[in-house]
Amino acid sequence: MTLVEVKCPKCKGKEVIKYGETRNNKQRYMYKNKDCEKESFMLEYSEKGMIPEIKDQIIKMAMNGSGIRDTARVLGISQTTVIKELKKIAKNRTSK
């Protein structure tokens, strides 16, 4: 049996508890520190478009003028995923 140390991906804190499973039977974790903006996370994502680093890359590419098709092709994700992420960002910016 291997012991895996689980840390928050944002602040690297160790106050993590198990928080159920996804529909794909992937373990979900929750960070107990209220100061950190990340509430729940997973160690393994089943879809490449759900990885936080890929989401950040979508934003960077959009800010540098890359189109939806180009972003999808470079990152290896679907165009629908790119559009959904850009809509989420636009919605969050307009509501603030």
- For residues 18 and 38, state if they share a domain: yes
Residue found by looking up tokens 């991906």 in the block: 9
Q: How far apart are the first and last CA of the chain?
A: 47
How many domains in the chain?
2
- For residues 4 and 23, state if they share a domain: yes
- For residues 37 and 64, state if they share a domain: no
- For residues 55 and 82, state if they share a domain: yes
Neighbours of 13 (CB within 10 A): 15
Domain residue limits at 72:
48-95
pLDDT, residue 65, reads 93
What angle is formed at CA 33 by the lines to CA 51 and CA 81, rounded to 5 degrees? 20
Decide: pTM greater than 0.75.
no
- For residues 39 and 53, state if they share a domain: no
Q: How many helices (H) and strands (E) does the chain have?
A: 3, 3
pLDDT, residue 64, reads 94
pLDDT, residue 43, reads 79
- For residues 36 and 52, state if they share a domain: no
Residue found by looking up tokens 């160790």 in the block: 14
**What confidence tens digit (pLDDT) does each residue in 44-75 have?**
777 888 888 899 999 999 999 999 999 999 99
Among the residue ranges 8-17, 59-68, 83-92, the one predicted with the least confidence is 8-17
Residue found by looking up tokens 């994502």 in the block: 45
